[in-house]
Structure 1
Amino acid sequence: MTENLGQGDYTFRAAPDWAKLPDGIVLGDVAGIAVDGRDRAYLFNRGDHPVVVLEADGSFVTSWGHGVFTNAHGAHIGADQAIYLTDNGDHTVRKFSLDGRLLLTIGEPGKPAVPMSGQPFCRCTHTALAPNGDIYVSDGYGNAVVHKYDPAGRHLMSWGRPGTGPGEFNLPHNICCDADGFVYVADRENHRVQIFDGNGRYQAQINNMHRPSGLAITPGPCPHCIVGELKAYQPVNRTTPNLGARISILDQKSQLVSRLDRGEGAGTGPGQFVSPHAIALDSRGDMYVGEVAATDWAAVFPETPKPEVIRRFQKFTRVREQAT
């Protein structure tokens, strides 16, 4: 039995043998995870089966998307029960039905915008839907902006520029919308989550985190932020303890509410992380975390040979106090 991780209402237990993948289905790094209204998990990964669908009990449902994507990066299922898959290798967001029918493409495959031009897209990173169906895209590796589209994919506006001030970005890596339509952006290399209204007006920021990569928010207004923090990788700090490779849950005032961290640093065991890149919650509050551990291994462990088996994703079951 695995140990409990986290504190209070956000206490979890790793379920290391949850997924039941059939022979022949081998996942690459799970860069994106989304959960639908039936609590099925969609693992958007960098293997030969780009979208793998699993039931809540881990049983295999199907896979699709073969031969479509260049570099899986972000996955999101909105209230419309369509899945939005962000491919930072070919600079597109594609909307699919949950059974894999292409419904909409935003961006021109293989035709990036000029780097740091502010025009869509140059290595876009993630997508989120507002309650009214508007689409927000973080455009982060070759840009420093957020783009807003209507539900039909028409560009409405963009905001942001490189920098460290309010409304400026240093690699906007992930994005979420809350129940009131506020937009949360994981501003990774500025070590913060910025909050905007639906028209890009800066509202606040959440700090006290290290390189936020994965991002999810809890249901309802004024949510808590669930942040996947990357391990430090610079030669001067990559062995420093208490920097990343963990999941932190923070409130709107930047106060730590709970943290999933075994205190052993980055690793591949149950409840450990190397590069937690994607986070999703199901209706029960169980949490799914996708890793790009193989992609980031050399940066995190430059002197350690990459193991043959690397944990690509994990499920964490919410632990609730039993009534007495």
Structure 2
Amino acid sequence: MREGLTVALGAQRYRVERPWGDLPATPGGISDVACDAAGRVYVQYRTDPMVDPPSPGVVVLSAEGARLAAWGESIADGHMLTVHPDGRVFVVDRDAQEVVIFAATGERLGGIGTRHGPGAPFNAPCDVAFAPDGTIYVADGYANARVHRFAPDGTPQGGWGAPGRGPGEFCTPHSVWVQPDGTVLVCDRDNSRVQAFSPAGAFLFEVTDVHKPMDVHGGPDGTFYVTDQVPRLSWFAGDGRLLGRCRPVLNGAHGMWRDPRSGVIYQSELNPNRLTRLVPL
């Protein structure tokens, strides 16, 4: 029997488990992962609607990895997804120009943006996150360089960003996360940095010790994690100081999520196509 793998972030060690979960073999790539308050795991599949046959865009697993459900055949190009604290699932349907809102059971509840309407307001959006007060932030994205801000009911509240390399400018804002104190973290992927902003968009600081960061996600006590294309997973203090670093996946995780109940960190890989789980030891 081959030995298992162990990685560390600071003093915390993790057992590497991969491939993890009863995931179906479909034409889609495993693009993102998120957990709900009960620990259920939502796995985002990305397909090309022009050539791939219809298949579920979201697969739901138990915390033990058993397949519970699969839904979302209407998703055109699921890029990233996030589970709202109330259990709704927000899927960023990138090439359809919409953030689609689903019930946890897969029924469509609504959406933000104009479906198949580029520029109204999205242009190939990437990610969505929620502030503690319910404000919604969308990183937009591949053909835009902007962070949009919405009220909890989806009413537009402006935003910020423009193409460039200066503070508040972006080259592919690929992921967004909001910290418990309201700080907005944005993976400015092709500028190889993570930028931090106030809730209204004022620049606070940047982390440049990352290479094409793919996803940012909150950790315990106001810390945060960043996965990049080195590939590696980095753990930062709330002010951007490096706390730990490891290489838990083969070619870099496109998405990730930390289950606050267990401390398990999930990593979604596109090459090879699988889910990796880091279990605290």
The aligned residue for residue 242 of structure 2 is 256
The aligned residue for residue 71 of structure 1 is 77
Percent identical pairs in the alignment equals: 31
Report the TM-score, using the length of structure 2 for normalisation. Answer: 0.91
The aligned residue for residue 189 of structure 1 is 190
Letter in 1 for 2:5: E
Q: How much has 1:260 moved relative to structure 2?
A: 2.1
Q: How much has 1:10 moved relative to structure 2?
A: 3.5
CA deviations 1:272-312 (Å, max 9, x no partner) are 3323110101121101011222xxxxxxxxxxxxxxxx332
Q: Pick the aligned partner of 1:311 from 250, 266, 273.
A: 273
Give the distance between the partners of 2:209 and 2:19, measured in 1 at CA.
32
Letter in 2 for 1:311: N
C-alpha contact 2:9 2:235 (8 A) present in aligned 1: no
Larger Rg, first or second structure (1 or 2): 1
The aligned residue for residue 245 of structure 1 is 231
Q: Is the deviation greater in 273-282 or in 167-176?
A: 273-282
Aligned length: 271
Letter in 1 for 2:254: H
Residue 228 of structure 2 corresponds to residue 229 of structure 1: yes
Letter in 1 for 2:228: E
C-alpha contact 1:27 1:49 (8 A) present in aligned 2: no
C-alpha contact 1:163 1:170 (8 A) present in aligned 2: yes
Q: Pick the aligned partner of 2:111 from 102, 105, 113.
A: 105
The aligned residue for residue 284 of structure 1 is 262
Q: Pick the aligned partner of 1:272 from 237, 240, 249.
A: 249
Report the TM-score, using the length of structure 1 for normalisation. Answer: 0.79
> RMSD of aligned C-alpha atoms?
1.7
For structure 1, which runs of at least 5 residues remain unmatched after alignment? 114-118, 231-243, 262-270, 294-309, 320-324
The aligned residue for residue 16 of structure 1 is 18
Q: Is the deviation greater in 41-50 or in 145-154?
A: 41-50
Structure 2 counterpart SS, 1:89: helix
Q: How much has 1:253 moved relative to structure 2?
A: 4.5
Structure 2 counterpart SS, 1:272: coil
The aligned residue for residue 170 of structure 1 is 171
Letter in 1 for 2:32: G
Letter in 2 for 1:278: G
Q: How much has 1:169 moved relative to structure 2?
A: 0.8
Structure 2 counterpart SS, 1:249: strand
CA deviations 1:146-183 (Å, max 9, x no partner) are 00011111111110111111111111000001111111
Letter in 1 for 2:205: A
Q: How much has 1:25 moved relative to structure 2?
A: 4.8
Q: Is the deviation greater in 103-112 or in 138-147?
A: 103-112
C-alpha contact 1:171 1:188 (8 A) present in aligned 2: yes
Q: How much has 1:206 moved relative to structure 2?
A: 1.8
